[in-house]
Structure 1
């Protein structure tokens, strides 16, 4: 195994862990939003805060997924370029 392949593998695993953490945070924020909506109807501030947290977590998860896709495309393209 070459040093480049090892580095690509390590970076890929780290990006995968990053995406997983973002996904988990998004799921937790969604559960908080559902709980706030199901709570007291007059607690508008709690619902607004929970919705904002969920939207920010969703945005973070989507950006992490895009980063992972770009990384995948860049590494597979680099592998195919060196195979010629």
Structure 2
């Protein structure tokens, strides 16, 4: 189930107006996904947009999908605190 949700979100982010290579924050990504799903008529429409892009210009579609997946993966990764020296007592 998790991979299906990731795939749907990646397709919506792929279909969004965000530029490839950008590093948007969580709120921007959520808004872009929601706008894409609405504009495309649902997640199936986002997937159709993505498939069309792969058919028309696979040389730009593949890097865009890698970017979309990277953005989503980075946002799901747990945030690590910087390593700190132990406090001396």
Q: TM-score, normalised by structure 1?
A: 0.37
Larger radius of gyration: 1
- Higher helix residue share: 1
